[in-house]
Structure 1
Amino acid sequence: MLTGKQKRFLRANAHDLNAIFQVGKGGVNDNLIKQIREALEARELLKVSILQNCEEDKHDVAKALAKGARAELVQLIGLTVVLYKESRENKQIKLP
């Protein structure tokens, strides 16, 4: 579980990132979660964009992504989800 200070630090680092995944009409599926898990191992911090045509609630999508990828939900702002998971091999981010 992240503290408020750690979430604030991660939000600041995520500000300049572009969303590398999109959740669309198909919603959250196993393939998407697998790809996000692999990307988190390489990057530790990433953004996921929820498209307008996604039929699921954005809060449910964010929780499903975090749970499926075993990651921390840093932020849900608008239709953008920020996820963090400490990498086992590529540690790049040092939390305060």
Structure 2
Amino acid sequence: MAAALSNPQKRYLRGLAHDLKPVLLVGAKGITDNLVAEAGIALGHHELIKVKVAAGDRELRDEWLAELCQRADAALVTRIGNIGVLYRRSQDKPLIVLPKG
């Protein structure tokens, strides 16, 4: 399970994610095994990714993002509208140094 992020760490990651474009699109099928695999690959390369969720219902978007985080072993940094920001620290070579806190 991904470690919980503190508020200063989330703030720092939100700043880094500001200029990122979504790399994954969750469509009508929801969270599939292929989507989780792609999220794992993207998180392995970048550590911080944006995911666009194409669901009209807020509860469904939250549910899908929570499921994706759980299955990809990532932490949800923030969700604004239909865009979620996910973070998972690389085990081999961490790219992002999080502030203490």
For the superposition of Structure 1 and Structure 2, which TM-score range results when normalised by the shorter chain?
Answer: over 0.9
Q: Residue 7 of structure 1 aligns with which residue?
A: 10
Q: Residue 64 of structure 2 aligns with which residue?
A: 61
Q: TM-score, normalised by structure 1?
A: 0.93
Q: Residue 73 of structure 1 aligns with which residue?
A: 76
Q: TM-score, normalised by structure 2?
A: 0.88
- After TM superposition, the runs of 4+ consecutive aligned structure 1 residues lying more than 4 A away are none
Unaligned runs of 5+ in 1: none
Calculate percent identity across the aligned residue pairs.
39
Unaligned runs of 5+ in 2: none
Q: Residue 28 of structure 2 aligns with which residue?
A: 25
Q: What is the aligned counterpart of 2:44 among 22, 41, 64?
A: 41
Residue 40 of structure 1 aligns to a residue in which SS?
helix
Aligned-partner residue type, residue 5 of structure 2: L
Aligned-partner residue type, residue 88 of structure 1: Q
Using the TM superposition, give the Cα deviation of residue 24 of structure 1 relative to its aligned residue in structure 2, in angstroms: 0.7
1:51-94 deviation digits (Å, cap 9, x = unpaired):
2468x711101101100100001011100010000001231100
In the alignment, the residues of structure 2 paired with residue 78 and residue 61 of structure 1 have an alpha-carbon distance, to the nearest angstrom, of 13
